Each structure stands twice: as C-alpha cells, then as structure tokens.
Structure 1
C-alpha cells in the first residue's frame, strides 16, 4: 500500500512537472506507513533513522510541498499530518477521528462539501480550506465499550 501511494505520488508530480525529492518521498513514506497521524516532530524523529541529521525546516518544507500538491492533509485539531487517500484530484475532505484509538478515516462526501459551500455563500463567506474534522468514536471502540 505504501509503495503504491509513493508510485502514485511520483506519477502525479511528473505530470505536474514537479520533483518528488528523496526528502519529500521519505516524509510521505512515513505518513503513509504510520497507523496514526503524525506531528512534524514525530516525523523528524522517524527521519533520523533514515536521514543523517534532518532539521525541522526540512520536514516543514517537505510537508508544505505535500500539502500544496494534495498528497497529504493537516489535521488541525490534532496538529498532525496524514497521507491523502486519493490525491489524484482536488477535493474537500472530511475526517472521522476516533478519540479512543486515534484512527482517522478520510471521507470525501460531495453533499457535505456542497452544504458547507452553500452555507458560506449565504453568509458571504469564502472558504479557503473546506476541511471538516469530526471527533468521535470508531466502530471498533464503540463495540469494545459495549463489551466492557
């Protein structure tokens, strides 16, 4: 799954005339391989096992590139990043974030995005990043709570 995401990212960058440098690729690989969202400093710690003396600006520059290209998302409520599950097209994402186990599921529901856009337009508001983060409990954690 990680290799497939990296291959897809490389192809998208090639199509766009951009370079997916080794450092950018390393950050994306770490995000895609993680079983949870990662902060910039968690990424920096993980990079130390792969890259000699990585500096925080290196990670932040790579994250900025990945965000700009739609290859990653920033979860504001967690101050963390995840790889995008479908970076091949621009989209307004919704994230279901379990506060029990930390699992994050990316959802792309056009009706949610349209509803938010209509509500914003009615108020004369122009959204820059129409991203929704929903905190709650995933099905597994709900089942576990019901058993306990």
Structure 2
C-alpha cells in the first residue's frame, strides 16, 4: 500500500522545508535556505560538491563543500532531504512534513532517482531486521536499473 501525502514544489517546497526545520527547533538561516534552494533545483541526485558549486555561483563567493555536508546532514536528520547512498548524493524531500522510509529507483544510464513510498514493503524490511535481532534505524532501499525513458531509447 502506497503512502499518501502532499507533494510540494518550488516556493511551496521551500516554505514546507522552513516550517519543518523550525518545528524541530532549528533556525532557517540564509545559508541553509541557499543550500536547500540549490539542492531542490537539481533534477537528479546532487553531490555536496555540486550543491556547493551552485551556491557559490549564486552568491558570487566560494562556499566550501564541508559546510554543505554539515547542512545536508542536518537536512537528512530533519527529513528535508534524502541521501542516495549508492551515489553519495542527495535529493530534496518533496514532502518534508511526512516521515517515512523511502525507496529509490535509480537509473544506471541517466542517473535519475525516482522516490517511491511503500509502507508495506518498508515495514516488511523493518520487521525482517527485528526478527534477525537487529534494531533498524534507517532502512535504505535502492533498486538499480533503467528508467522508462532510458528503457525506451
């Protein structure tokens, strides 16, 4: 069964991210806003270096990738972003006000990562981990293959 939620984009996404961050007791600084805007502007997963480069160009000054990594870690912890583990890259969470495990379908040809929600599948992974005596904290499910666009080519 798929999870139902509101998907945000553009200005609505930035507002939802800011509200989520502030509800968690964190400040929404100008740098955090700049990093989130850059992250959400990418059409596929972006590395901290990609994001730092975009923020640097937008601000006309060099922004270090280490600073971006710290902010991205905060974003992942606050549910504003997801880390695509196999690509060491990040995507903005289009529904930061909804906490759940997610599944990525990653195209090996174009690099696009499609995020899907399936609480039944994610719950099954958590249950299997518990049955094996393991306490799951952050399941990461990534499926590699080809997207429908690349498959058609």
- The equivalent residue for 1:43 is 51
- The equivalent residue for 1:7 is 15
Give yes or no for contact 1:10–1:20 (8 Å, CA) kept in 2: yes
Structure 1 segments, 4+ long, off by >3 Å, are none
- The equivalent residue for 1:100 is 109
Q: How does 1:32-71 map to 2 (within 5 A)?
A: 32-51=40-59, 52-71=61-80
Q: Deviations over 1:62-106 (max 9, x none)?
A: 111111100001111001111012211221110111111111111
Alpha-carbon distance in 1 for matches of 2:62, 2:152: 43
Give yes or no for contact 1:93–1:109 (8 Å, CA) kept in 2: yes
Q: Deviations over 1:97-144 (max 9, x none)?
A: 111111111111011111101211111011121120111111111112
Alpha-carbon distance in 1 for matches of 2:22, 2:79: 14
Q: How does 1:1-148 map to 2 (within 5 A)?
A: 1-51=9-59, 52-144=61-153
**Superposed CA RMSD:** 1.3
Q: Secondary structure at the match of 1:142?
A: helix
Give yes or no for contact 2:24–2:78 (8 Å, CA) kept in 1: no
Number of aligned residues: 144
TM norm structure 2? 0.88
Higher-RCO chain (CA-CA 8 Å, sequence separation at least 6): 2
Unaligned runs of 5+ in 1: none
